[in-house]
Structures are given as C-alpha cells and as structure tokens.
Amino acid sequence: MFATMFWKQALIIAGVIIIFLATSFINAKIKPKKDVELPEKCQFCPSKTCVLKISEVNKKQEELAEYLEQCEDSDEPQAN
C-alpha cells in the first residue's frame, strides 16, 4: 500500500514537472509578432497585459476628449 501511494505521488510530481517544462519550451519557441512594441514598463513585468490595457484606456480617453472637443466646437456657432 505504501509503495502504491509513493508511485502515485511520484507520477503526479513527474507529470507536473513535464507539463511545466513542455509549456516553458513551447513558450520559448513562439516568437512575438514583428510590429509588437512593448512599453518600457513591460520589459521586466511578469504580466504581459497590464500596461497594454492601461494604454488602451488612455487611447480611448483621448479619443473621447477629441470627440467632446469636436462636439463643443460644433455647438458654439449654434449658441451665438
């Protein structure tokens, strides 16, 4: 019984290690697209999406600000 439990645990640990090594190997082989530029803040960050999502929010805010300015500009002649 002890030997059976030992081998089950050994197989589970070996499986986890093999899966980890396989995913690390596959991740190292996959190259990013050529036109992808990561911000300097992302260079050593373990998460690949944190600053990218923030930059998308900033871009959206800029677009909305431009849109509001256009709306205000178009409303000015009507108010006078």
- Would you state the pLDDT for residue 17? 98
Q: Which residue has the higher pLDDT, 8 or 55?
A: 8
> What is the reported pLDDT for 30?
84
Structure confidence at residue 33 (pLDDT): 72
> What does the pLDDT read at residue 29?
87
Q: Are 42 and 51 in contact, with CB atoms under 8 Å apart?
A: yes
The pLDDT assigned to 77 comes to: 62
> Would you list the domain boundaries of the chain?
1-30, 34-80
CA-CA distance, 39 to 13, in Å (whole number)? 37
Angle at 67 between CA 66 and CA 69, to 5 degrees: 65
Token code pair at residue 53: 């999502």
Task: Say how far apart CA 41 and CA 19 lie, in whole Å.
Answer: 30
Task: Give the model confidence (pLDDT) of 21-74 as tens digits.
Answer: 999 999 888 877 777 776 676 667 776 556 566 667 778 888 888 888 888 777
